[in-house]
Amino acid sequence: MTRDEALAIYDRVLALSDRFDRKGKTMPYTSANGHMFSQVNKDGQIGIRLPKSRQAELLAEHGAGPFKSYGAIMRDYVCLTDDMIADDARIAALLDEGFEFVMAMEPGKKA
């Protein structure tokens, strides 16, 4: 999948929610409570920040592994697989989970 295709999917799914908006011009992301919880990297991969238990489930069910941005593994993020990206409702549900995850954290510096 190209980066443009990933961005189109990301934008389409974000439009389904009124809880959060896309931010960032060159590196699109979402954030809440001062914490990022999703991102599209330069390779056109979509990553979502989730609790460790949910990360393990997605690895077991879909092979979703760590998400990298600028060569660094992003803590608590999973990289969505092609089969996960093919389902807008699944992505939307995972984004909601990511939103709830960061809302439960202590507020970040940019809250």
Q: Is residue 92 part of a domain?
A: yes
Q: What is the pTM of this model?
A: 0.93
Which is nearest to 103 in space by CA: 17, 19, 16, 18?
19
Condensed to tens digits (0 to 9), the pLDDT of residues 37-74 reads 999 999 999 999 999 999 999 999 999 999 999 999 99
Phi, psi of 18 (to 5 degrees): -105, 10
Query: How does 39-50 read in b/e, with b if 16+ C-beta sit within 10 Å?
Result: bbbeebbbbbbb
CB atoms within 10 A of CB 31: 20
Residue 110 forms part of a structural domain: no
In a domain, 8, yes or no: yes
39 falls within a domain: yes
With respect to residue 111, please indicate whether it lies within any of the assigned structural domains: no
d(CA 55, CA 106) in angstroms, rounded, equals: 20
Tell me which residue range forms the domain holding 48: 3-103
pLDDT-derived band at 10, boundaries 50, 70, 90: very high
